[in-house]
Amino acid sequence: MNEAFLMKMLWNLITNPNDLWCRVLYSKYGRNKDLRFSINSQPYDSPLWKALTDIWDKIQENMVWQLGDGNTINFWLDKWIPDGTSLINSSSQTIIDTTLNVCDILNPEGDWNQSYLNENLTTSMTYQILAIPPPNELDGRDMIGWGGTNTKHFTIQSAYNIQRGHIHSIEGEWQAIWAWRGPHRIQTFMWMAAHERILTNYRRSRWGIGISPLCNICGAADETVIHVLRDCISATQVWLRLVPSNQSSNFFSISCRDWIFKNITNNFHGTHDLNWTSTFMVACWNLWNWRNKEIFEEGFQRPTDPTYVILKMATETDNCLHNMWSDNQHETTFIGWRSPREGWVKLNCDGSHNDRLGLAGCGGLLRNSDGTWLKGYSRKLGNCDALHAEMWGMYLGLDLARREGIMHLHVESDSKVLIDMVTKKSNFKGNIPTLVSRNRQLLELNWQVHLSHIWREGNKSADWLANFSYSLSSFDVHFIESPPRELQRILFYDISGACMPRNVRLTM
Ligand SMILES: [Zn+2]
């Protein structure tokens, strides 16, 4: 049986032991062992159970924990920190106590015992731990997740990747696609093409059952990605007018992945004086789009001058005029901070990450309807990604507002992702991050809280406070009673209603 499916099966046995088939299998062979920690088989066990026993190590390697109360996770041996390693590899001591659970590494106030961390671990590891919310009974039991995906949700695809030894995908090299300033659907298409994910006839034929792999247009070859985008006569005609003739032998000879990669990253000069990346991506997208329309739309005719259509679209993209043909309408609006309604308090919160320092920080402030400063906060977090820093910023701000006795709170964050997570607009397939649950719990208390997204231009004071955290000496929350002098210019700017222009997407 396929190993990825066996892994999926064993994963279900470990995480959903109450499913009927899991109970049957477990009662027969499980021998009352907690499968999270060990498994074994006897010579007379079924071949399936033996196969599961054989791959248990792989599951174990990819099992990561998410902290709840910290009572079941071994501090040194289990994998519970975000980088997926065990702390035993980062110990700065020769002797460690491997009986300690995570909940044992707290001080009497329930915060991380910083002196223990400092004495026993490297600084960079200490920074990572300090940015993790300390275990708390209120967060529920510790949970296990699958380390192969960032949502901690088991997928067969990720098990395949682990089998092939590519745990870390090589997305870095495709950054150029996402950095390109143009329509998202073209970026997505280009990424799919580079990963051979678009549904060409060749790909469909491999699913079997009477599907021809041949190209519908020329019928002369299998329709692969490189065929439809470059080698088919319908595509070659287009490229010959875009690529200078002294470049064409190279252009038409390299393999698909290299071809896409080189053309989106190299500063290549086409026959027209346009940004080559835009020309290339727009051309590929149109070639695929026309191919689809020829197949699916009766009576569709390719443009008589495809090169003209491509160059026009590439020009529009570069001039940000793509709303002429794009379904994303853009309009310039003016954004700035606005004071909250009478009787309400506004919380602006933010988080940031500083690569150079290897640190993350967060901060925020409370202001009333006159724009008067009520209280600010700033905390150096340790090391975590920017999204977690945003989560921290919101959590500490909500917690502060609650303790200040505020009953009507308007929260603004410049992280749309975070707001969608907290307001449950985005669905989680795996475990919910602890800080998101904590934010949700705070929202459910007896007070009125309204959350909204604000562009960064309107959140500058919170951003300043998040960056200010790097200058703090301790990792404790630093409360600020009156605004620091350097921040006053931004605060004044906010209440004077100054606005900055920005392009905003109106429809999705
Ligand atoms: Zn063809």
Return the closest-CA partner of residue 384 out of 426, 416, 351, 423.
351
Cα–ligand 1 centroid distance for 292 (angstroms)? 13
Asked if 496 and 339 touch (Cβ cutoff 8 Å), the reply is no
> Ligand 1: distance of its center to the CA of 202 in Å?
11
Q: In whole angstroms, how far apart are CA 18 and each of 28, 48, 204?
A: 14, 19, 38
Alpha carbons 33 and 52: distance in angstroms, whole number = 14
What's the gap in Å between 213 CA and the centre of ligand 1?
11
- What distances in angstroms separate CA 361 from CA 135, 192, 337, 355, 377, one per listed residue? 20, 35, 22, 11, 11
b/e burial code for range 90-116 (CB count within 10 A of at least 16 → b):
beeeeebeeeebbbebbeeeeebbbeb
Q: How far is the CA of 107 from the centre of ligand 1 (A)?
A: 69
Give distance in angstroms: CA of 235 to centre of ligand 1: 8
Report the greatest alpha carbon distance in the chain. 80
Write down the mean pLDDT value for the chain.
83
Q: What is the pTM of this model?
A: 0.57
Q: State the distance from the centre of ligand 1 to the C-alpha of 14, rounded, in angstroms.
A: 49
Q: Rounded to the nearest 5°, which phi and psi values hold at 176?
A: -55, -35
How many angstroms does the Cα of residue 57 sit away from the middle of ligand 1? 47
**Tokens in use for 417?**
């992702």
- Residue 326 CA to residue 383 CA, distance in Å, equals 40
CA of 236 to the centre of ligand 1 (A): 10
**Distance (Å) from CA 233 to ligand 1 centroid:** 6
The 10s digit of each residue's pLDDT in 134-182 is: 999 888 888 877 766 655 566 666 665 555 543 333 445 677 787 787 8
Closest CA relative to residue 71, chosen from 58, 62, 63, 80: 80
CA of 423 from ligand 1 middle (Å) equals: 48
Quote the ligand 1 centre to 227 CA distance (angstroms): 6
Which residues have CB less than 5 Å away from ligand 1 (the ion)? 215, 217-218, 232
The arithmetic mean of pLDDT across residues 86-115, rounded, is: 89
Where in the chain are the domains?
3-61, 65-163, 182-319, 345-505
Neighbour tally for 316: CB within 10 Å: 18
Distance 266 CA to ligand 1 centre (A): 27
Centroid of ligand 1 to alpha carbon of 177 (angstroms): 26
**CA of residue 230 to ligand 1 center, whole Å:** 9
pLDDT at 149: 60
Under 8 Å CB-to-CB from 279, ≥6 apart: which residues?
A: 242, 270, 272, 310, 311, 314
For domain 345-505, give the fold. Nucleotidyltransferase; domain 5 (3.30.420)
Residue 377 has pLDDT above 90, yes or no: yes
Task: Give the tens place of pLDDT for each residue, 453-493.
Answer: 888 888 999 999 999 999 999 999 999 999 998 898 888 87
List of residues 6+ apart from 181 with CB closer than 8 A: 317, 318, 320
